[in-house]
Amino acid sequence: MTTIRALAAIIYIVLGALVAGLLAGLDRKFSARMQGRRGPSVFQPFYDVAKLFSKETLALNGGQFVIAFSFLILMVLTGALFFAGVDILLVFLALSTAAMFLVFAATSSNSAMSTMGAQREMMQMLAYEPMVLITAVGFYMSTQIMNGGQGSFKIVDIASGDIPSIVYLPGIFIGFLFILTIKFRKSPFDISTSHHAHQELVKGVTTDLSGRNLGMIEVAHWYENTFLLGVVALFFLSNDWWSIPLAVGAAIVVYFLETIIDNISARVKWELMVKLAWGVTIVCGGLNLLVLEYIF
């Protein structure tokens, strides 16, 4: 079992960015078709990142490379820990730590655009972190129900239950899907930065990053997206073999659902984002936990 978990982590490190890069290419193609355009090649994200690494890096200070590289390493570590099946609280802690390094990268310059993007990035963290914590608690309570009172935060235990966690956590799943729009940086919650050209802060939190520094940030986001889709899949995993294709299918459907939302939504202000995120967290996540506590 330990060997399988280590192998899963290695596969994520090797293929995590490749999978998310291909999904990003399909995202662009799908979005273009929705807008009546042909769209770029599905490999365009790889061409873009390769070009970034080949361009001259104009850093405002020497610390930008260290911070960008730390963000990449921490994001890879986050996903590797997740696919290795360790404690989900540790995984989410690593995710939050990685997110702070993106903020540090933006604030390492004196640019007004980058600083404002960093502030918005922190507001996004304020919006989604409560739901992330509730998700971890929900997984613990679902294993507690399935194991007769013995709960576990370990991902390997969550994924090997008799029943997929989605059966006990439908509200938490909806809440997690809501904050995924924030984490994927898609409209209507692409507040701090966006993969579209309509971002009024140029590129927001990444405005002053260029060349290999920006390339590392993009690759880190690919790893992050693969990890987040892994969390989606975790809701559907159990000790039955059929749960694996079900989980993979659910993750793919969720990703393209987020793409549809991205293309039909206009960006909102950060105040509304926080209100909506906390509202969904309280209603969907909070009520789901209450049901688990007092009914099961």
For tokens 């990268």, what's the residue?
A: 105
Crossing angle (nearest 10°) for helices 44-54 and 2-34: 100
pLDDT at 175: 96
- Largest separation between any pair of C-alpha atoms in the chain: 60
pLDDT at 98: 93
Q: Note the Cα 172 to chain centre separation in Å.
A: 16
- Percent of residues, the chain, with pLDDT higher than 90: 60
Identify the segments of the chain with pLDDT beneath 70: 1, 59-62, 194-204
Nearest of 21, 193, 23, 3 to residue 117 by alpha carbon = 193
Given a contact cutoff of 8 angstroms between Cβ atoms, the answer to whether 12 and 79 are in contact is yes
For tokens 């280590």, what's the residue?
A: 6
CA dist 271 to 162, 190, 191, 233, Å?
A: 41, 13, 10, 30
For tokens 């997206």, what's the residue?
A: 225
Q: Domain extents for the chain?
A: 2-294
CA distance 17 to 30: 20
CA distance 269 to 47: 32
Q: What is the pTM of this model?
A: 0.93
pLDDT at 237: 94
Angle at alpha carbon of residue 44, lines to 38 and 47, rounded to 5°: 150
CA distance 187 to 206: 17
Helices (H) and strands (E) in the chain, counts: 11, 0
3-class DSSP state of 204: helix
